[in-house]
Structure 1
Amino acid sequence: MTSKPTDESATSSAVESVTDLESLRDRPGVQFHEETERVDSELFETLETLDDMAVVGVTNGDGDVLLMRVTEECALKLPTAEVGPDEDYAAAARNWVESQAGLEITLDSLEGVWCHEGRLEGTDRTTTRAFVVFGATPEVDEDGTDGTTDKRTEAYTVGWYAELPTDAAVAPGTRRFFD
């Protein structure tokens, strides 16, 4: 595998919409990583069916990070929403955190884009899966209350963590929120 970050700094103002990843490639302050790996036909076929992902590092006022388990069987991880073709990564990220964790958020930054290309062994065929990573904070009311909604939380477990648990799943960009 090869990895090529295009920029080492990653900060920007509030993020409203992200639909065109290529437009982010040369955007100042956004890391753009690309990895290529030769894969067998079984893995290639699996990769072709997977959606892109929007990963959200939600940090509260104490510096703790929101982690969740969507089901009893899955590992703790940053909120991670599937993003289909022509969908908005930012909207998917906000909607996922609100529906799964019951928390309204503001996407404060675009931390980076990780593109994983699978190249089918012995051919020139490729398939790509992207992970767009956002930094976020809970919305806060005038009285200082966070944006917890009245909606029923769908996730199995939701909590705030100062350190990344050793058994947590690590999506691209996760460690940026646990320095």
Structure 2
Amino acid sequence: MSPTLEPEPLCERDDVDVQTETRTLTRTEFETARDVANHLTLGVANDAGEVLLVADGVRGWTLPGAPVGPDEDWDAVARRALESLTGVDVGIAEPVRVRRVEFERDGDADRQRTTYDVLARTASVPGRPVADEPTVAGEDVTDLVWLDRVPEDASGAIATDIEAVLERSAE
């Protein structure tokens, strides 16, 4: 059985890196933040020590991800996203980290909203599987690559996530 990817229980585990940030927002910003979706980031690793990256027009090469709706099952979202991208049934090996962002409205401590981004590493897959028509969150993916390193233009949280998946896959 795969580990659960539900973020709140993951935040209690010692083996999962939890990063918390609190952002105080104006009323207008807070209303906009209410629409920020939870997110699942997937580190798809293969038996050659490579990870699957997709081209994000804004951020460059990044790990694939999918939004998670308020009533959606995180594990089901992961299974669907992985199969739609790789074309194979890939299991989750382990959750790696949770980024928790707590939005609060300036001057109103009772108005809060928390979003999560969970990074999970998959079980190792043989070769370089890619679905015939790969998609992520219902969107066609035209540019993807298997790499055994962090891309040169990756930085910040994206580079850190890719590096974490590569390191854990090598263990």
Please state which band the TM-score falls in when normalised by the shorter chain. 0.7 to 0.9
The Cα RMSD (Å) is: 2.7
CA positional deviation for 1:18? 3.2
1:60 paired to 2:41? no
User: C-alpha offsets along residues 108-136 of structure 1, whole Å, 9 cap, x if unaligned?
Assistant: 01112211111222221221110111011
* Aligned equivalent of 2:37, options 25, 48, 51: 51
1:129 paired to 2:115? yes
For the 8 Å contact 1:104–1:149, the answer to whether it is kept is no
How many residue pairs were aligned? 159
Q: TM-score normalised to the size of structure 1?
A: 0.73
Q: Secondary structure at the match of 1:76?
A: strand
Equivalent pairs: percent with the same residue? 26
Q: Which runs of 5+ in 1 are unaligned?
A: 1-13, 141-145
| One-letter identity of the residue aligned with 1:110 | P
CA distance in 2, matches of 1:163, 1:149: 19
Q: TM-score normalised to the size of structure 2?
A: 0.76
CA positional deviation for 1:147? 8.0
| One-letter identity of the residue aligned with 1:52 | N
CA distance in 2, matches of 1:132, 1:45: 23
CA distance in 2, matches of 1:45, 1:35: 18
Map 1:30-179 to 2 at 5 A: 30-69=16-55, 75-124=60-109, 125-140=111-126, 146=127, 148=129, 151-154=132-135, 155-168=141-154, 170-171=157-158, 173-178=161-166
**Greater fraction helix:** 2
Q: Which runs of 5+ in 2 are unaligned?
A: 136-140
